[in-house]
Amino acid sequence: MMLDGKHILLIIGGGIAAFKSLDLIRRLRERGAAVTPVLTKAGEEFVTPLSVSALAGSKLYRDLFDLGDEAEMGHIQLSRVADLVVVAPATADLMSKMAQGVANDLASTLLLATDTPVMIAPAMNVRMWDHPATQRNLVTLRGDDIAVVGPNDGDMACGEFGPGRMAEPMEIVTAIQAHFADGPLTGKRILVTSGPTHEPIDPVRYIANRSSGAQGTALATALAALGAHVVFVTGPADVPPPSGVEVIKVQTAHQMLNAVEGALPADAAVFAAAVADWRVSSASDRKLKKSKDGLPVLEFAENPDILKTVAQMGKGRPKLVVGFAAETNDVIENATAKRKRKGCDWIVANDVSPETGIMGGSENAVTLISDAGAEGWPRMSKTDVATQLAARIAQALT
């Protein structure tokens, strides 16, 4: 099993999301991990000590000054027995204590005393998450090498909508598995763009394309499984983003370029997104209405070419830049010319003629074009294309 022999110290903070941590314990144990739970005082308001320790099949630690515990296992030792410390939910308060180095209860003392890696799954009200103080703490924690999973966007228990929902238990499990994945891409940072972009015509209409995001999502999953830290910049795709990767959601090509530039530097960058080549330069901030004066005229402007920008950036260019080419005819000739024009190292070319069923489908037949020439791969599932491409990327980076 993926987590056999791994020991996780799970600190459950005081948030409504604490109930999801019960499921997290169950899923970690199913995968072979041992879980030692620590429940904060505030956490006890949301889940009972009995349910936590029963699910963990372990003693629950609650109090810094519990003499019995100190005799059994001191807090310093407790903080170090684990292979990974996971804080879920990580409340704004816990994040703040961690960033400041405060140690005034068992959880914060363990976090200050530990010398093992720490991963947090933040959960809080959207305004608390967006508050400059929390964002400052987040930067500090990332700088301290603390891994952060989520939070996700969504409806919140407090009735608001936005970022702040704790990542789902399976997303946390995947991030934990990726943390332990000792693959050839461990320590590498890889950027992946995916999905279509939406270019607004007016507030309710947009121009889009048929990309589902399936190939980019499969590739991000395969790279993470080899140990990479994947930054996944995605337009509005049909398939949900993979878990265990850093997700940045965008709508337009311009937003995608900004997100990509913000995510660099990276060891490799793979551009699987189907970026709209044009945007409506005359996009209206009001809904266009039917009018007696005739039909509306849309004017277009060219979008930035994100792949080309990164492939030709000179200093700070990722070592390996990979583009995709969606062609309907003369696939190899067009894709070879595209590789030159864009300045990328590889082009993964595919035939997206409607009769192939590739765009929006589950299979792909690709040709990998590099300076060594064109290499045709047999038709296979998008997952298999992703696995093979991830293996080739690992070869190229090591």
The C-alpha atoms of residue 241 and residue 153 are separated, in whole angstroms, by: 12
In the range 121-180, which residues lie near ligand CTP by CB under 6 A? Answer: none
Nearer of residues 135 and 312 to ligand CTP, judged by Cβ: 312
Peptide bond into 132 cis (omega under 30): no
Cβ of residue 303: shortest distance to ligand CTP, in angstroms? 5
Q: Which stretch binds ligand CTP (CB under 6 A): 89-97, 153-161, 280-288, 324-332?
A: 324-332
What does the DSSP 8-state code read for residue 274?
Answer: B
The question of whether 344 is a catalytic residue gets the answer no
The single residue among 35, 124, 191, 307 that binds ligand CTP, judged by CB under 6 A, is: 307
Q: Which stretch binds ligand CTP (CB under 6 A): 99-107, 124-132, 166-174, 272-280?
A: 272-280
x/- map, 326-345, ligand CTP, by CB under 6 A: x-----------x-------
Residue 273 touches ligand CTP, criterion: CB under 6 A: yes
Structure tokens at 135: 């964002």
SS3 label, residue 391: helix
111 C-beta neighbours (distance < 10 Å), count: 24
Helix (H) or strand (E) holding 98: helix 92-100
Q: Which stretch binds ligand CTP (CB under 6 A): 19-27, 66-74, 230-238, 319-327?
A: 319-327
Residue 306 touches ligand CTP, criterion: CB under 6 A: yes
Nearer of residues 193 and 221 to ligand CTP, judged by Cβ: 193
249 C-beta neighbours (distance < 10 Å), count: 15
Nearer of residues 137 and 303 to ligand CTP, judged by Cβ: 303
Cβ–Cβ < 8 Å for 248, 233: yes
Residue 323 touches ligand CTP, criterion: CB under 6 A: yes
Residue 253 touches ligand CTP, criterion: CB under 6 A: yes
Residue 15 touches ligand CTP, criterion: CB under 6 A: no
The C-alpha atoms of residue 320 and residue 282 are separated, in whole angstroms, by: 37
Bridge partners of residue 271, in order along the sequence: 193, 323
Structure tokens at 200: 């607004």
Residue 324 touches ligand CTP, criterion: CB under 6 A: yes
The single residue among 171, 267, 305, 351 that binds ligand CTP, judged by CB under 6 A, is: 305
The C-alpha atoms of residue 130 and residue 133 are separated, in whole angstroms, by: 8
Structure tokens at 398: 């090591």
Structure tokens at 229: 């830290």
Residue with tokens 């792949």: 307
Measured CA to CA in angstroms, residue 98 lies from 107, 108, 113, 139, 143 at distances of: 10, 7, 11, 12, 12
Q: Which stretch binds ligand CTP (CB under 6 A): 28-36, 177-185, 238-246, 301-309?
A: 301-309
- Catalytic pick among 158, 203, 357, 361: 158
Nearer of residues 105 and 351 to ligand CTP, judged by Cβ: 351
Q: Which stretch binds ligand CTP (CB under 6 A): 74-82, 243-251, 271-279, 386-394?
A: 271-279
Cβ of residue 312: shortest distance to ligand CTP, in angstroms? 12
Q: What is the 3-state secondary structure (H, E, C) of 219-270?
A: HHHHHHHCCCEEEEEECCCCCCCCCCCEEEECCCHHHHHHHHHHHCCCCEEE
Structure tokens at 244: 């265990």
Residue 277 touches ligand CTP, criterion: CB under 6 A: yes
Cβ of residue 376: shortest distance to ligand CTP, in angstroms? 18
98 C-beta neighbours (distance < 10 Å), count: 23
Residue 325 touches ligand CTP, criterion: CB under 6 A: yes
x/- map, 87-126, ligand CTP, by CB under 6 A: ----------------------------------------
Residues interacting with ligand CTP, by CB under 6 A?
193, 253, 271, 273, 275, 277, 303, 305-307, 323-326, 338
Active site (catalytic) residues: 158
